[in-house]
Amino acid sequence: MGSFPVLETERLRLRETRANDLDDLYHVYSDPEVTRYYNLDALTNLEQARQIIRRRQEALGRGHIRWALCLKEDDRYIGSCGLPFSLEYWRVAELGYELGREHWGKGLMTEAVRAVCHYAFETLGMQRLEAQVMPGNGASIRVLEKCGFRCEGLLRGRGFWNERSHDLLMFGLLRDDLG
Ligand SMILES: CC(C)(COP(=O)(O)OP(=O)(O)OC[C@H]1O[C@@H](n2cnc3c(N)ncnc32)[C@H](O)[C@@H]1OP(=O)(O)O)[C@@H](O)C(=O)NCCC(=O)NCCS
C-alpha cells in the first residue's frame, strides 16, 4: 500500500496513528469502560500504548488498516476504527472500533463506521464485512444495526481472553445489502 488512505466525514478525520498521539491513545485505552468488551486489558503504562502505535504502523505494511479517529476541529486522537483482520482471499474483512468515553452517544462511531464500510467496499473491493460483538455490548450492536449490519447468530465460545471463553454475536454486511 502507498500512502495512508485519509478519510473525512462531516465531523471526523480518519488518518494514520502518529507517535505524538501517544498520550491521547493511552487516555482512551486506559479506561476500563472502553476495554470492557474487548480482548484487551486496560493499559497501565505508556509503553503499552507505544507498542500499539508501533503494531499499527507495522500492520499497515501487511494491508491491515486501522484509522485514528480525530475531530476535524483539533485533529486530536479520540478513538480508532479499522479492518485489523481480513480474509482477503475471500474478500471478507473484520471491523473493530473504540472511542474515548467522553465522546460516546453523539453518533461519531456510526459516522466513522459508515465511511470505513464505504471505503472497504468501493476501494478495497471487499464483498463482506464482519464484526463480532459481546451480547451485552448494546451500544456497539446499535452502531452496527444503524450501519445496516445484520445479526447472523451467536458463535459459542468464539473468543478467549482473561482465561475464559466468550460467546460472540456475528454481524455481517454484504456489499449487495447496500444496493
Ligand atoms: C461502541 C462505541 C464505539 C459506540 O460509539 P458511539 O459514538 O457512542 O456510537 P453512536 O453514538 O454512533 O451510536 C450509539 C447507539 O447506541 C445506543 N446505545 C448506547 N448505549 C446503549 C446500550 N447500553 N444498549 C443499547 N443501545 C445503546 C445509543 O443510544 C445510540 O443509538 P441511537 O442513535 O439509536 O440513539 C463506544 O460505546 C465504545 O467505544 N465502546 C467501547 C469499545 C467497544 O465496545 N468497541 C466495540 C467492540 S465490538
Q: pTM for this one?
A: 0.96
Q: pLDDT digit string (tens) for 20-35?
A: 999 999 999 999 999 9
Atom of ligand 1 nearest to the CA of 140: 1
Residue 169 CB neighbours (<10 A)? 20
Ligand 1 contacts (CB < 6 A) are 34, 37-38, 97-99, 104-110, 133, 137-140, 142-143
Give domain status of residue 94, yes or no: yes
Ligand 1 centre and the CA of 172: distance in Å? 17
Q: Indicate which residue's Cα is closest to atom 23 of ligand 1.
A: 138
Q: What is the pLDDT of residues 86-110, one digit of tens each?
A: 787 899 999 999 999 999 999 999 9
* Strand pairing class (77-87; 65-71): antiparallel
Is residue 130 one of the residues assigned to a domain? Answer: yes
Q: Which domain holds residue 44?
A: 7-178
pLDDT score recorded for residue 152: 98
Supply the pLDDT for residue 39. 81
Q: What is the mean pLDDT of the chain?
A: 94
pLDDT digits (tens, 9 = 90+) for 41-90: 899 999 999 999 999 988 887 878 999 999 999 999 999 999 977 787 89
Q: Is residue 110 part of a domain?
A: yes
Looking at residue 85, what is its pLDDT? 76
How many domains does the structure of the chain reveal?
1
- Cα(118)–Cα(14) distance, rounded to whole angstroms? 13
Q: How confident is the model at residue 162 (pLDDT cuts 50, 70, 90)?
A: confident
**Substitution site in 142, 155, 158, 161 for ligand 1 pocket (most atoms within 8 Å of beta carbon):** 142
Q: What is the CATH number of the domain that holds 163?
A: 3.40.630.30
Place of cell 500499539: 52
Confidence at residue 84, expressed as pLDDT on a 0 to 100 scale: 79
CB neighbour list of residue 66: distance below 8 Å, 6 or more residues apart: 17, 56, 59, 60, 80, 81, 82, 83, 84, 96
pLDDT for residue 64: 87
In-domain check, residue 81: yes
The answer to the question of residue 169 being in a domain is yes
Would residue 2 count as lying in a domain? no
Give the Å distance between the CA of 89 and the centre of ligand 1. Answer: 31
> What is the predicted pLDDT for the residue at 16?
95
Beta strands in the chain (DSSP E): 7-8, 12-15, 65-71, 77-87, 92-99, 128-133, 150-161, 164-174
**Structure-block grid coordinates of residue 156:** 459459542
Question: Which protein residue has the closest C-alpha to ligand 1 atom 19?
Answer: 139
The CB density around residue 6, as the number of other CB atoms within 10 Å, is 10
132 CA: nearest ligand 1 atom: 48
Q: What is the separation of C-alpha 134 from the centre of its chain, rounded to a whole number of angstroms?
A: 14
Asked whether residue 149 is domain-assigned, the answer is yes
Distance CA 46, CA 44 (A): 7
Please answer whether residues 12 and 70 qualify as being in contact, where contact means their C-beta atoms are separated by less than 8 angstroms: yes
How far, in Å, from the CA of 58 to the mean position of ligand 1?
29
Ligand 1 atom with the smallest distance to the CA of 143 is 13
- The answer to whether residue 1 is domain-embedded is no
